[in-house]
Amino acid sequence: NFTNAVELTDDLTALTASRDVESLCKLLMCRTTALQATARTNEATQAIESFINQFRGRKEVLSLAMELYGRNAQYDRTGSFIDELLKEEPNNLDLLSRKGRAELALQRYHSAIEILTEADASEKGLVMRIPINSMNATSGRIALGTPGGMAAFLK
């Protein structure tokens, strides 16, 4: 019952005193899911932003922000979090592919090519699934590591 979940997570501030960020991340995930399921998306966004502002420097928080904004197709907001995470792990294929998908969704094709080519160079044979509507392409599958990789696909 999402309404009960919202009520149970209403008072995040009482738990912030413990500074157990990992538990707070789980609670925020539960809260935002419940808020979204009850059509309270503005409140979900406010909860995310408040939490990020309070705990921004933590890797768990950056990952959670990236996940929550990505889940809601708010790709314009995921970029800064992905960039911060990539500073720590510049060859992380999951992060690179998320950044590439975000750039595709935002129709920044040249940037997506650069990012996905970088991912291709890091790991030959990586396969990504991309929503067809984000590219107006006939296929939702791009096989990186094939001759020409992403650049050949987008030509």
pTM of the model: 0.64
Q: Which residue has the tokens 């907001």?
A: 77
Tens of each residue's pLDDT in the chain, 155 residues: 777 667 666 655 565 555 677 888 888 888 888 888 899 888 988 988 888 888 877 888 889 889 888 888 889 989 899 999 999 998 888 999 899 999 999 999 999 988 888 777 666 544 454 444 444 444 444 444 444 455 445 54
Tokens for 76, please give them.
Answer: 């314009």
Dihedral of the alpha carbons of 79, 100, 45, 68, in degrees to the nearest 10: -120
